[in-house]
Structure 1
Amino acid sequence: MTQPTRAVARMETVAGALDGAVDLPVVGRVGLDPLLGLVPVAGDLLAALAALYIVVEAARAGVSTRTLVRMLVNVGLDAALGTVPVVGDVFDLVWRASDRNVRLAKRDLGLDGET
């Protein structure tokens, strides 16, 4: 397994925890990001820091600067809108910034066809 492939595996693990760790009736898959968002300020901060780990892994794996900027915008939107009561929690459920960022990194690294 190559270094970028190992990095993507780590990114997918973190994204899975943040965006789809728990299967809830009616709602579907929910991750720690929207659940942490229920704790004002501190929860959103913790979720953003965990999401930034994915960006750091992508940078280490050799993702382009353009893709890293897009990933940072995703995390920033998620963090900023996630702080809005109620609306932010719904946004966290739908936006799934970490999943988006893993897809961006995989595409940039040419690994988007792999599982």
Structure 2
Amino acid sequence: MVEQGTVRRMSAQLPLGRDAASVRQRVEALEKILERAFVIPGTKQPIGLDALAGLIPVAGDIVAAGLGLYLIWEARNLGMPKWQLARMVGHVGFDTLIGAVPVAGDLFDFLYRSNTKNLKIIRKYLDKHHPHTMVIDQ
């Protein structure tokens, strides 16, 4: 069971605003959870909720696709062009379609990171149209 103080700390870390800086923080946090939240013991291979959820037949792929579509929803709210949104939908759709194939799809989920690709598109847009949101990676 999660303590209420823990939930408050988690919610306090991510801003709820609609401004570009808040959106950037949310999509970066979600991408990290979906694609590289854990490291496989004994390797340096990161995995995330997307790959783990894909191990659950049908429902896992639907949940992972829904979370990927949330990234696109945030991008849409930023006012990104429709062609970029369509490209992002294509990444999520391809990941979901191939990920739904038993066994081979699970392996594919470990290798193909649609949410990382989509985050790159969002970052490029934000860096061009909202440069004040840029964060220097250390």
Aligned equivalents of 2:65, 2:44: Cα separation in 1: 22
- Do the aligned partners of 1:24 and 1:30 also contact (CA within 8 Å) in 2? yes
1:85 aligns with 2:95: no
Secondary structure of 1:17's aligned partner: helix
Q: Aligned residue pairs: how many?
A: 115
Aligned equivalents of 1:49, 1:87: Cα separation in 2: 21
**Which residue of structure 1 lines up, in the alignment, with residue 71 of structure 2?**
54
- The normalised TM-score by structure 1 is 0.91
**Which residue of structure 1 lines up, in the alignment, with residue 7 of structure 2?**
none
Q: Where do 5+ consecutive residues of structure 1 fail to align?
A: none
Where relative contact order (Cα < 8 A, 6+ residues apart) is larger, the structure is: 1
Secondary structure of 1:47's aligned partner: helix
1:6 aligns with 2:28: no
1:99 aligns with 2:116: yes
Secondary structure of 1:63's aligned partner: coil
Q: Which runs of 4+ in 1 moved over 6 A?
A: none
1:32 aligns with 2:49: yes
Secondary structure of 1:84's aligned partner: coil
Greater Rg over alpha carbons, structure: 2
